A and B are shown apart, each in its own frame.
Chain A
């Protein structure tokens, strides 16, 4: 047995355990009840100006800390938060663990993740032996590529999203044409414009490379095979291992999460260290701007599909049918969750594809992106049309250049007419969603054992 491999496994197991334990500790429900159940007679009934709300009017008792005086930029704002507002805030964080994917039996297997991590960084997955998953999902760029559209030009007409926290998503690709992380990875490997080595090439690689062979065996308890009859099974196992690795690429513990945790624990002193502009932005996000309508929950996404009328890259008419076509592709995908290669084709998650409603309302809809780490994943939108967060906020403010809904249609989105201050606040809030990087041992190919 290779010692280094054992250490890595131990570390992964420890991480997984820590994650599980942490989940219980961070579970906001108890704190939520406490806050929500606090006497409301003394609580401000609306988001009154902070200055008007005396500290004594807070709905919860302040906790005490022994530390030296710290800057508490949002003390007054925090003090003025009423119970419903706090409840809403706590719905956004902390991040927690992703929903399980029973269609991948190794989704949480450290051995599979280790194998998958090596594959993720291996350029032999591409036809030109030059590109790997990490070529577009670059660890140094928050697992995105920082480009509007991926290189080489023409490889895709859609912008590369980050894979940080990707396991929190329900559907994959902008049009949701994959319903599991593993089938998403496989689609990229199959696509000759992207990695392109395909199932036979992938099966051959993991079968003939001795290291892969051993890691495959460790993960799946059997040998890989690139015999014609075994290609699909081997390749699917390999992408399930990639999915297991990607599941570890979590990035929570942002400034916002620390604020939310403190708020949930009634530690208002710590909560007050959250920048005032970010908190104002958050209140706007959950309030008048109603961003939370599509960006709810701890992953700041409803996991579904919407059109915000975004103008297409390069101008002209939009041509991307988005979710409407994505459902066709998903239903036709032999690697979907209720297909023959799924490990739980009858689980609720796998069967969801059968109950999807398809309509032309979905034309042009794309998946609501998570806003976690959003400041680190410019540019924005499904074709990278907007370069900065500020441009995104200005778009929502004015809907400038938004595509028309047609002369029989009804415009749902309305310009939000943000003030300069509001844009600053929202941007500060969004920047507070930057999480910690995944641990260092996860951000490059595992070293080869000697």
Chain B
């Protein structure tokens, strides 16, 4: 059973991937070519990795994976840290109109550990401020390692994801 061609290949490739240091994975080139309207997703920049030790309150601009939105994330005080509820602020703009915060979209927040196939054990809370920005609380990253923080913008029938890569020490 273990000699299944598919399985053995999968095992080998997985081991290969595991052997590659995380930094290499982070640095791996991601396509940013011009995409047709059918696959706007590739318009997203891939260098959204955040260092946990970044200065508190720094503002980070992220383009959503479908290219429709630009998000400004004011990072948590003290940066993204392990094992404490984190709070940060998010403004959502259309990519074509990056100066005006959208007031008619919803924001959903979640976090995930791709290498561990699980997410966070707490549900984040999101509050909307009068100026249309979102205050996100209770983002709880309990493990050390690679997290993806998902910022899903809901506008009409569409949900489009922006994501931040966060390495927790």
Residues of A within 8 A of B (CB): 87-88, 91, 290, 292-294, 296-297, 302-305, 348, 352, 355-357, 361, 410, 412, 414
Contact = CB atoms under 8 A, between A and B. Distances in A.
Contacts of B138: 355
The A contact surface, by secondary structure, is loop
Interface stretch (B54-62, B91-99, B118-126, B154-162): B118-126
B112 to A, nearest CB: 12
Contacts of A294: 143
Contacts of A357: 119-123
Contacts of B116: 293, 412
B135 interface: no
Contacts of A304: 121, 142-143
B76 to A, nearest CB: 15
B169 A87 contact: yes
B132 interface: no
Given A91-B169, A352-B122, A357-B123, A303 B83 contact: yes
Contacts of A296: 82-83, 143-144
B66 interface: no
21 contacts: A292-B144, A293-B143, A293-B145, A296-B82, A296-B83, A296-B143, A296-B144, A302-B144, A348-B85, A355-B122, A355-B123, A355-B124, A355-B138, A356-B122, A356-B123, A357-B119, A357-B120, A361-B117, A414-B14, A414-B15, A414-B18
B14 to A, nearest CB: 8
A414 B73 CA distance: 35
B121 A305 contact: yes
A356 B121 contact: yes
Contacts of A414: 14-15, 18
A104 to B, nearest CB: 20
A289 B93 CA distance: 42
A321 to B, nearest CB: 16
Contacts of A297: 82-83
Interface in B132-169: 138, 142-145, 169
A412 B121 contact: no
Nearest to A405: B117
A355 B82 CA distance: 17
B85 A302 contact: no
Given A293-B145, A355-B125, 14 more contacts: A91-B169, A292-B144, A293-B116, A296-B143, A302-B82, A305-B121, A352-B122, A356-B121, A356-B123, A357-B121, A357-B122, A361-B117, A412-B115, A412-B117
Interface residues of B, number: 23
B145 A302 contact: no
A336 to B, nearest CB: 16
Nearest to A358: B121
Contacts of B117: 361, 410, 412
A87 B14 CA distance: 30
Contacts of A290: 145
Which 8 residue pairs across A and B have the least CB separation, nearest first?
A304-B142, A296-B144, A355-B123, A355-B122, A302-B142, A293-B145, A302-B143, A293-B144
B25 to A, nearest CB: 14
Nearest to A305: B121
Q: Which of A87, A355, A361 has the most CB of B within 10 A?
A: A355
Contacts of A361: 117-118
Contacts of B18: 414
Contacts of A305: 121
A290 B21 CA distance: 12
A251 to B, nearest CB: 21
Contacts of B122: 352, 355-357
A91 B120 CA distance: 21
A296 B143 CA distance: 7
A91 B81 CA distance: 12
A345 B123 CA distance: 19
A283 to B, nearest CB: 15
Interface string B1-22: 0000000000000110010000
Given A297-B83, A357-B119, A88 B143 contact: no
Contacts of B115: 412
B49 to A, nearest CB: 16
A304 B117 CA distance: 15
Q: Which of B18, B85, B115, B121 has the most CB of A within 10 A?
A: B121
A317 to B, nearest CB: 20
A400 to B, nearest CB: 15
Contacts of B124: 355
Contact of A88 (B119, B142, B145, B169): B169
B150 to A, nearest CB: 14
Nearest to A349: B85
